[in-house]
Amino acid sequence: MQALWLEDRRLRLRDDVAPPAPSAGEAVVSVLLAGICNTDLEMVKGYYPFTGVPGHEFVGRVEAAPSAPERVGSRVVGEINASCGSCEACRAGRRTHCERRTVLGIKDRHGAFAERLTLPLQNLHDVPESVSDEAACFAEPLAAALELQEQVDVRADDRIVIIGAGKLGQLVARTLGLRARDVLVVGRDPKHLRPLLELGLRVGTASDLPDARADLVVECTGNPEGLALATRAVRPRGTVVLKSTYQGNATLDVSRLVVNEVTLVGSRCGPFVPALGLLAEGRVNVASLVHARYSLGDGLRAFEEAARPGVLKVLLDCAP
């Protein structure tokens, strides 16, 4: 089958990738549409040593499901962590932290920039009729944005600052905007701030940020400047959520965290059910986040485009 293939930091288009075969309890999904995420871009830069088909944001259709034939034909999105169910983390209910997990397009499992992928049936969620393919592609990053609300008690009168108005910052802003009245999004690119303003959120630049005032800061830039800004903006006993990974180590004013008794919370994959719910109810608009759509065959050009500064979501049409 056709697929993008990452090896030694080089991405190429191949036509000879063997279609994945489902293990017990897994389904084969034909991919309709897939989204390029910053993690994909960073993997190409060598951030993570993955060889194979990247891609983990997708919507597709169940093509085969040996143990559940009734699911064939369903339009689905999928949780990306395939867990063993028996390690200590799984038994404790932390399945996304399974010690033996494979992760779609990230770790030991070929991903979504291909005609087909496999995932355990239990990872798949049917997509409601009312959710378009484009919107369904955002289920995974929207779930990741919602994860912080599973970890931190967000209150309606919290003063919230979101650092970064890129792909993830946009989704975090939209979801927190539904929960709290005072949300300020800090970003560099006015064209990404404008739509947030229209959603009723406040926007600004780093210089608009008062020192040590925010109850909750969400860092969505993945760069050390964003992290430094976040630790400055949060009030004593406030919380900083880290939604982005960083290349290499970042330096941090740890004494400030101690003296101000700040809590830092790392946050990764999140719950699909509420994400699909928000999309189905139209409460989170994602259409404006789509920058461009390419065919899988044009995947290399799509990656080039997605890596340009200021570009939001680039989608890949994977249906042959």
Residues that bind a copy of itself (CB under 8 A): 89, 94, 97, 151, 227, 235-237, 242-247, 249-255, 257-268
Q: Which of 129, 157 has the CB closer to a copy of itself?
A: 157
In the complex, what is the shortest distance from the CB of residue 89 to a copy of itself, in angstroms, rounded to a whole number?
A: 6
Q: Which of 131, 154 has the CB closer to a copy of itself?
A: 154
Instruction: Give CA–CA dist 31/60, Å, rounded.
Output: 4
Which residue has tokens 């560099």? 188
Q: Which of 191, 237 has the CB closer to a copy of itself?
A: 237
Instruction: Give CA–CA dist 101/83, Å, rounded.
Output: 5
CA-closest candidate to residue 54, choices 14, 97, 101, 98? 14
In the complex, what is the shortest distance from the CB of residue 55 to a copy of itself, in angstroms, rounded to a whole number?
A: 18
Q: Which of 199, 265 has the CB closer to a copy of itself?
A: 265
Instruction: Give CA–CA dist 265/263, Å, rounded.
Output: 6
In the complex, what is the shortest distance from the CB of residue 276 to a copy of itself, in angstroms, rounded to a whole number?
A: 22
Q: Which of 15, 211 has the CB closer to a copy of itself?
A: 211
In the complex, what is the shortest distance from the CB of residue 147 to a copy of itself, in angstroms, rounded to a whole number?
A: 8
Structure tokens at 210: 């008062």
Question: 221: which DSSP letter?
Answer: S
Q: Which of 40, 115 has the CB closer to a copy of itself?
A: 40
Rg (CA), the chain: 19
In the complex, what is the shortest distance from the CB of residue 84 to a copy of itself, in angstroms, rounded to a whole number?
A: 14
Q: Exposed, middle or buried: residue 88 (CB in 10 Å: 0-12, 13-18, 19+)?
A: exposed
In the complex, what is the shortest distance from the CB of residue 90 to a copy of itself, in angstroms, rounded to a whole number?
A: 11
Q: Which of 178, 259 has the CB closer to a copy of itself?
A: 259
Q: Which of 83, 123 has the CB closer to a copy of itself?
A: 83
Sequence-separated (6 or more) residues with CB below 8 Å from residue 143: 79, 269, 270, 271, 272, 274, 275
In the complex, what is the shortest distance from the CB of residue 281 to a copy of itself, in angstroms, rounded to a whole number?
A: 27
Sequence-separated (6 or more) residues with CB below 8 Å from residue 190: none
In the complex, what is the shortest distance from the CB of residue 258 to a copy of itself, in angstroms, rounded to a whole number?
A: 4
Instruction: Give CA–CA dist 299/12, Å, rounded.
Output: 8
Handedness of CA 52, 56, 57, 62 (dihedral sign): positive
Q: Exposed, middle or buried: residue 41 (CB in 10 Å: 0-12, 13-18, 19+)?
A: middle
